[in-house]
Amino acid sequence: MKALVGIDGSANSLAAAAFVGRLLSPERDELELLFVLPPWSFNSERLEESIERRAKAAVSRTLLEAAASQLPQGWRGRVSCSEKEGQPSEQILGLLETQRFDLVVVGNLGTGGALANSALGEFVLGSVSRAIVYSATIPVLVVKNGEGNSTPAAGAAKPFHILAAYGDDHFAARTSALLNQFTLPDSCRGWVMTAIQPMHATHLPRWATLERDPDVAAMAAAWEAEHQQCVQQASKELAARRGALPACFAAQNPIVAEGRPAEQILAQLSEKHIELAILGARSHGPIKRMLLGSVSSQVLRQAPCSMLIVR
């Protein structure tokens, strides 16, 4: 696997380098660190152009060295470093178009305020990471450096928890292919899940639980039986998908949740203390994203852990 990591000197981007460096193998994979220097000038007529050039080069070199120092020892001398100047998201996306990469990695910049959890807030308060998630045509790993997040490490005492959430078969093969290329730690535990429509949109009123007409009771029993068949079918499909994933997924039962997909996924992320969540994302136009959102974008905004968006 060949991965590109966007570096900007923030704690999030350094965490991104550390995170992916432990998921990939220096003997088998390729890792490139890219620093994009935004348009910047010292605005001094007295400063020679050559000095300004050297100052910018020093900034790039310092930040790339800082990112490389976060990688496991095995990557030392094997990681590539490059630098560009311009708008970060444009430069990263441009490089993805001209060179072959299998994965792009960015740190989550995060946003706060009243609009942070809304589609409008996402549109107005966009970041480099969101631009990459929405525009890249390859899988994107967004690393969150929040409190409580851990970095995968071989032999780590604390388990490293992964959740793969499925909506349909569209991304199943890609998800398994991608996860099987990672070098997961021995402490890894993985779950697969999906969310289906509940049998009842809300809690049943009291009158519905009382003794009913035999015909109504028979109809209710038929609905219940049909719903249970849906649950069993979803569980069976998840078990099949789990069989194509790394061995760390085998010991945990599939999770079939009932309710809104994003809400159910977020609940499992908290309950299972997940460090890495994997979701699929279909391509949509920016206006449709702004107005309707999607499961992956909602989870990305609110998830407490790092996210791998599969395409």
8 and 40 in contact (C-beta within 8 Å)? no
DSSP string for residues in 230-276 = HHHHHHHHHHHHHTTS-GGGTTSPPEEEES-HHHHHHHHHHHTT-SE
Can you tell me which residue has the tokens 């430069």? 91
**What is the pTM (predicted TM-score) of this model?**
0.82
pLDDT tens digits along 20-79: 999 999 999 999 999 998 776 666 666 677 777 788 888 889 999 999 999 999 998 899
- Closest by CA to 196, choosing from 255, 249, 261, is 261
- Residue that has been written with the tokens 């020679």 in this structure: 48
Does position 151 have pLDDT exceeding 80, yes or no? no
Residue 33 CA: distances (Å) to CA of 141, 300, 310: 14, 23, 21
Does the structure show a pLDDT above 70 at 147?
Answer: no
Residue 286: the pLDDT is: 45
Strand partners, 188: 160
CATH class of 2-310: alpha beta
Per-residue pLDDT tens for 164-221? 999 867 788 999 999 999 999 999 999 999 998 887 655 555 555 566 677 767 776 7
